[in-house]
């Protein structure tokens, strides 16, 4: 219209014609800007009503399984779909039916939710608020969340699933009807008998995993579990009871370990010197090489600021098995010496008294120990292959324990041939024919390794001692033998 009647009467015919022309040109401009592409190519396009406008349709997926193939995330109520999935759980019945729990690792919020262990907190299963039903015998293996679809498989499809399909298999489920059974229920799949072809089975076990659908499924699976393990590292569950097969495997493994331990103990006992007993049998044996710690692995200390330094010694004790390859002093007559006074200790009045009895003696000698495995030839060509050796000092109290109660107190062995002969007999049990060989360097001695305890300690060297500059902090590392008795 041209306007209100009162206004029309005021316009002349020329003015009315001008208004009509303006409205016509305005309509042409609106049509031009509403569809500029159609005008540019000279084609007409039917514009959809504004109220029905929506997002463009997705491009149809091309699948090797056909047009009905869908992912679990795409399934909807009362729709049919072909699914390529992996079996998570399978519960069979004696009537040929089966409850199949499958996943392709895509999420659908309409299916059942399976809570992860960190969310359960002892809660009962869905629909069992008061805990009347028993808990499942086996924990849900995952995946968790809205990733697992339940499919009710009927005969004849169920017979194949019950006999041919196992958990972990990849399967193709054809013509699965998706539906929600009742209000409040969740989306599930149904596979019924085909009335037109009752013998047709719509379950295919996929043995060839090279298909693109399976490869994509495996990729999604790996990403899911990698993320899951990164966020929730597995924790040992003491309340989970092992299965019968696991119990059987653990029992067999334990028996094998016990037999191996018994054989190792028997071999160790057969190899060691049975006439030498060692205390602290519960302590593990350590080789001479490990005790010496030549690479200073146990003697390196690191400060909080990152500075590292080597400790001169560590106050600790070991238990080892070794054999004697040398001794000091070279004469057994020098194994007993007069007591060495302690310069740092003031003499007591009793020590200052003159005694009529003869001078007392103490045991003091040193043994050189080596690991029991045969050493390589000590030729100049193999000088660097000689095994490490450890000198251990035997003090008076430790020597008394070593020789046993049937050994007399030490005396001047050069004037006590009976005691010297008894000492030689005791040491022959310990080191075999070592004395006959003249000690180290005079051939291989025949003696079995014995077990003993060794204590590591250190002494501070004097300022004028030239060795002081070669040891950390001026302390020298020494070893003491104890805890062994010659029977």
Residue 373, pLDDT score = 64
Listed range (17-26, 104-113, 246-255) with the worst mean pLDDT = 17-26
Nearest-10 crossing angle of helices 396-403, 417-431? 80
Q: Are 310 and 456 in contact (CB under 8 A)?
A: no
Q: 280-333: per-residue pLDDT in tens?
A: 888 888 999 999 998 888 888 888 888 888 889 999 999 999 989 999 999 999
Q: Whose CA is closest to 214, among 383, 57, 51, 85?
A: 85
- Residue with more model confidence, 116 or 52: 116
DSSP bridge partners of 102? 87, 149
Residue 252, pLDDT score = 81
Q: Are 143 and 224 in contact (CB under 8 A)?
A: yes
Give me the mean pLDDT over the 441-460 stretch. 80
Q: What is the pTM of this model?
A: 0.43
DSSP codes of every residue in 100-138: EEEE-S---TTS--B--HHHHTTPPPTT-TT--SPPPSS
Residue 250, pLDDT score = 83
At 107, is the pLDDT very low, low, confident or very high (cuts 50, 70, 90)?
very high
Give me the mean pLDDT over the 346-371 stretch. 69
pLDDT at 380 over 50: no
pLDDT at 8 over 90: no
Hey, what are 301's tokens? 């200390």
Residue 85, pLDDT score = 95
Q: Are 313 and 459 in contact (CB under 8 A)?
A: no
What distance in Å separates the CA atoms of residue 102 and residue 114, rounded to the nearest whole number? 13
**439 dihedral zone (left: phi>0; alpha: psi -120 to 50; beta):** left
At 210, is the pLDDT very low, low, confident or very high (cuts 50, 70, 90)?
confident
At 247, is the pLDDT very low, low, confident or very high (cuts 50, 70, 90)?
confident
DSSP codes of every residue in 17-81: HHHHHHHHHHHHHHHHHHSHHHHHHT----PPPGGG--PPPPPPPP-TT-TTB--GGG--TT-EE
Give me the mean pLDDT over the 85-114 stretch. 91
- State phi, psi for 477 to the nearest 5 degrees: -85, 130
At 377, is the pLDDT very low, low, confident or very high (cuts 50, 70, 90)?
very low
Residue 448, pLDDT score = 85
Highest-scoring range by mean pLDDT, 24-38, 40-54, 306-320: 306-320
Q: Strand 149-153 to strand 98-103: parallel, antiparallel, or no bridges (unpaired)? A: antiparallel
Neighbours of 348 (CB within 10 A): 8
Q: Name the average pLDDT for the chain.
A: 80
């Amino acid at each position: 219209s041209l306007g209100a009647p009162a206004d029309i009467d005021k316009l002349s015919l020329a003015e009315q014609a001008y208004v009509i022309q303006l409205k016509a040109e305005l309509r042409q401009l609106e049509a031009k800007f509403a569809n500029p592409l159609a005008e540019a190519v000279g084609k007409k396009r039917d514009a959809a009503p504004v109220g029905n406008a929506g997002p463009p349709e997705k491009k149809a997926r091309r699948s090797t399984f056909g047009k009905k193939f869908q992912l679990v995330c795409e399934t909807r109520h009362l729709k049919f779909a072909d699914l390529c999935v992996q079996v998570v759980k399978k519960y069979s019945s004696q009537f040929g039916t089966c409850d199949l729990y499958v996943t392709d690792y895509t999420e659908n919020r309409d299916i059942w939710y399976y809570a992860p262990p960190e969310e359960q907190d002892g809660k009962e299963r869905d629909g069992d608020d008061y805990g009347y039903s028993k808990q499942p015998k086996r924990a849900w293996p995952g995946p968790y969340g809205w990733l697992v679809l339940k499919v009710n498989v009927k005969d004849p499809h169920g017979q194949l699933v019950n006999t041919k399909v196992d958990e972990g298999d990849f399967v193709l489920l054809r013509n699965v009807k998706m539906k929600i059974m009742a209000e409040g229920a969740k989306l599930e799949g149904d596979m019924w008998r085909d009335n037109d072809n009752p013998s047709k089975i719509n379950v295919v076990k996929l043995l060839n995993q090279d298909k693109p659908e399976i490869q994509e499924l495996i990729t999604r699976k790996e990403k899911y579990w990698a993320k899951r393990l990164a966020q929730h590292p597995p924790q040992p569950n003491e309340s989970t009871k092992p299965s019968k097969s696991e119990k059987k495997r653990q029992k067999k493994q334990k028996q094998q370990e016990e037999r191996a331990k018994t054989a190792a103990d028997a071999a160790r006992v057969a190899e060691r010197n049975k006439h030498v007993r060692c205390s602290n049998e519960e302590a593990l044996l350590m080789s001479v090489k490990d005790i010496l710690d030549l690479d200073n692995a146990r003697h390196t200390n690191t400060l909080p600021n990152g500075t590292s330094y080597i400790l001169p010694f560590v106050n600790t004790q070991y238990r080892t098995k070794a054999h004697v390859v040398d001794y000091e002093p070279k004469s057994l007559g020098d194994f007993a010496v007069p007591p060495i006074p302690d310069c740092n200790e003031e003499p007591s009045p009793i020590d200052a008294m003159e005694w009529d009895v003869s001078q007392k003696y103490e045991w003091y000698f040193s043994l050189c120990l080596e690991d029991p495995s045969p050493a390589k030839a000590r030729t100049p060509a193999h000088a660097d292959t000689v095994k490490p050796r450890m000198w251990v000092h035997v003090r008076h109290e430790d020597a008394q324990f070593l020789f046993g109660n049937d050994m007399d107190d030490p005396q001047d062995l050069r004037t006590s041939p009976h005691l010297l002969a008894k000492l030689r007999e005791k040491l022959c049990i310990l080191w075999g024919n070592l004395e006959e060989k003249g000690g180290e360097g005079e051939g291989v001695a025949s003696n079995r390794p014995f077990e003993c305890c060794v204590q590591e300690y250190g002494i501070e060297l004097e300022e004028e001692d030239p060795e002081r500059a070669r040891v950390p902090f001026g302390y020298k590392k020494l070893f003491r033998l104890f805890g062994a008795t010659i029977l």
